[in-house]
Amino acid sequence: MKEKLTIVKVGGKIVEESDTLKQLLYDFSSISGHKILVHGGGRSATNLASKLGIESKMVDGRRITDADMLKIVTMVYGGLVNKNIVAGLQALGINALGLTGADMNVIRSIKRPVKNIDYGFVGDVETTDGNLLSELIKKSIVPVMAPLTHDGKGNLLNTNADTIAGETAKALAPYFDVTLIFCFEKKGVLTNAEDDNSLIPILTPDLFKQYQTDGTINGGMIPKIENSFAALKAGVNQVIITLATAIDGKSGTIIRL
């Protein structure tokens, strides 16, 4: 029987405010068994860029990462946000290790090809070293993964944190019984973004297609759900989208094939 592994992906807003970060780290430290935390940090990157006079450009919620912005996200994601989380977990007795994809060559990407939009230094994941990560985890180390990867040629690449979580879950599915939890400011996937009581308790591919067609599910939630289905197809045992204060996996939207 495989050992249990819980991968929690948390949005930037949660980890960028001290009160919500403190609660999240406490809840995360209480999860039994092996675990990984994957984080964002977009608001902090935008704020720092603004202070330095660097314009943030977004297309459909996705960041355009030019050379200057790459420096910003590297400093914020791989430095400030990541190390604050690591320090907070260490204070709770969790032996955390901050990682980007470049560290130990754990996640390698290719620069996204230019089609209709040039996203700049944005990476699409090619390989994730599940074996190496599994060896760390079995030594009771808790990886804290920043949304940065590399191309193997000396270039860092900004990479969507949901993708990092999904690809990591898929790579570790052969080694562990993996539960992937996406958490943010809502109770889960909602039929009405303004109504917290409109939770969709179970989401299947057919329901997703229906809700996507009628506009109920849109924007950044679409790639999150697509990553969820891909993870399940690759052997991940369970995927849940839920509130950041509910990462015990007992509530939220359960994604099923």
Over residues 215-233, the pLDDT tens digits come to 999 887 888 899 899 999 9
According to DSSP, the residues that pair with 128 across neighbouring strands are 107
The per-residue pLDDT for range 132-158, each reduced to its tens digit, is 999 999 999 999 999 999 999 999 999
pLDDT reading at 240 higher than 90: yes
Q: Which domain holds residue 25?
A: 4-186
Q: CATH number for the domain including 156?
A: 3.40.1160.10
Residue 1 pLDDT level (bands cut at 50, 70, 90): confident
The per-residue pLDDT for range 97-113, each reduced to its tens digit, is 999 999 999 999 999 99
pLDDT reading at 238 higher than 90: yes
pLDDT reading at 12 higher than 80: no
Q: Are 255 and 240 in contact (CB under 8 A)?
A: yes
pLDDT value for 59 = 82
**194 found inside a domain:** no
**251 found inside a domain:** no
pLDDT value for 150 = 98
**218 found inside a domain:** no
Domains held by the chain: number: 1
**151 found inside a domain:** yes
Number of alpha carbons in the 13 Å side-chain half-sphere of residue 198:
9
Q: Are 187 and 145 in contact (CB under 8 A)?
A: no
pTM: 0.95
**226 found inside a domain:** no
**239 found inside a domain:** no
Q: Are 102 and 160 in contact (CB under 8 A)?
A: no
**234 found inside a domain:** no
Residue 123 pLDDT level (bands cut at 50, 70, 90): very high
**60 found inside a domain:** yes
